[in-house]
Amino acid sequence: MNIALAQLNYIIGDIEGNTTKILAEVDAAKAANVDLVVFSELAICGYPPKDLLDYPSFIERCELALDTIRIASNEIGVLVGSPSLSGLAKGKKLYNSAFFFSDQKLLAKVNKTLLPTYDIFDEYRYFETNNVFECVDFKGERIAVTICEDLWNLDNEKLYHVTPMDELIKQNPTVMINLSGSPYSYNHVEKRRTRMQLNAKTYSLPLFYVNQVGGNTDLLFDGGSMFINRLGDIVEECEFYNEDFKVIQWDSSTLYEDNHQEYYDYDIGLIHDALVMGVRDYFSKVGFKNAVLGSSGGIDSAVVHAIAAEALGAENVKAITMPSKYSSSGSVDDAQKLAQNLGSPFSIIPIKKAFDAFEETLADEFIGTEPNVTEENLQARSRGIILMAYSNKFGNMVLNTSNKSESAVGYSTLYGDMCGGLSVIGDLYKEQVYELARFINRYGEVIPYEIVNKEPSAELRPDQKDIDSLPPYPVLDKILFHYIEGKKGWQEIVDLNLEGADEILIRKIIRMVDRNEYKRFQAPPTLRISHKAFGFGRSMPIVARYNH
């Protein structure tokens, strides 16, 4: 049997556009003499559709699209994901389903059993759980069809009381197929592969796994669809971050050899490619072509500028440096050199007049007070106003340049440097930003070496350095990682004996993270590259009193 893995980039809600792409792949599969072409989870509507599923008209349009695909399934099998009505008097109104069409007929409809509700997932909000397990007979093979999470309940990581393949294996299937919507994080690539390989070995069955690719707001889908033999070897694998169509000439009697590329849990190249794809898809899917950012001459804005230039074309990324009286001439020169290296348009707009106007406006109210962080924030907010004005006038989306370390501890200004339509590096700690800069420079200087090597500074007061307000970033990032990703309390982190981090510092940093939740709640969408990004995946109360 010839089976095609159709790894596509869908737009959530664009049912007609997604259907057109699916039909084109069906035609390609027919031309390649494919017996069965497989698409990903909820391919019809895009994943995740969230509360669009609450609209009856949305489901009706999915049903119309499915009927179009059914008609196109003459002389071929098509396996595609879509929401479907449950028809239940009690319980949820929808299933997360896989539709199996062949010869213009519905051969089977398989519903998803395991509905994740952790981290970024909230599927039980919308879908009913499947409790019927039946294999699908097609072309002399018996196929165990599952959907994404259905293959993750294995070994010592069981979150559910039922394991779908334990039920399906009783019907003696000859092959497994999994339709997936599995987003990228830097620790997930190998984990996903390992889990799928474990399924193949556990049930001694080959596995065809189809994931989607592309950026959907904050979620980045890396693809990596694959064919795994019954011994758990990855025989074929689709490209990462690109649409792909791969035909597997499969014979159940043949054992195919391992032929996949190795990646590691943490690969800065994959992080780079994920961010480039995320920016490109965010802009194209919301209808923007041009970006603008504040280019300070520092590492964060430099990395964002380089990523955006690669994603959108350097000519479509406007860089504006906005020096204050505290900005060094070197920072302005470095920002200009970066724009020249990339080939981006560049402007210098000093903020002195704007800042002076704010000080004059507030002078009567501030009589008798000493300058403090208020005046620092006025500078950042002056820059935010300039960027948003440029955005309004010319239609360029503002890119936010805050990193995860700053966002975590509130070392950023609400309505100032936190403004923007998309946070590009908001899920990268400061040390990761430096690592990404070095990767960008792997073939030569793109980001000026002066930027990479200079000591970090907000330049909002005389001789200011980040280290005046924060511990060194290697220390800070480790504390933050163990608290945010590791979900450890202060005592557990103290017990790790991190170099340069005593109990007083650790407790201080945790308090800073907790009390700045209100800022992050108002931040722009952040491209997710870790397993615990700020945003929907880390849902914390703003008003709370808990001592970690």
Residue 548: is it exposed, middle or buried by C-beta count within 10 angstroms (0-12/13-18/19+)? middle
Active site residues: 41, 112, 148
Alpha-carbon dihedral sign for residues 534, 539, 542, 546: negative
The per-residue pLDDT for 87 is: 95
Residue 363: is it exposed, middle or buried by C-beta count within 10 angstroms (0-12/13-18/19+)? exposed
Tell me which fold the domain 277-466 belongs to.
Rossmann fold (3.40.50)
**DSSP code at position 466:** G
The per-residue pLDDT for 253 is: 73
The per-residue pLDDT for 251 is: 87
Residues forming CATH 3.40.50.620 domain(s) in the chain: 277-466
Query: Cα–Cα–Cα angle for 111, 54, 61, nearest 5°?
Result: 75
The per-residue pLDDT for 320 is: 98
DSSP result, 33-69? T-SEEE--TTTTT-S--GGGGG-HHHHHHHHHHHHHH
The per-residue pLDDT for 178 is: 98
The answer to whether 459 and 326 have CB atoms below 8 angstroms apart is: yes
Q: What is the pLDDT of residues 45-86, one digit of tens each?
A: 999 999 999 999 999 999 999 999 999 999 999 999 999 999
The per-residue pLDDT for 258 is: 67
Q: Which two tokens stand for residue 340?
A: 């020249």
CATH number of 2-266: 3.60.110.10
Q: Which residues of the chain have pLDDT under 50?
A: none
Strands 141-147 and 213-216: unpaired
The per-residue pLDDT for 259 is: 63
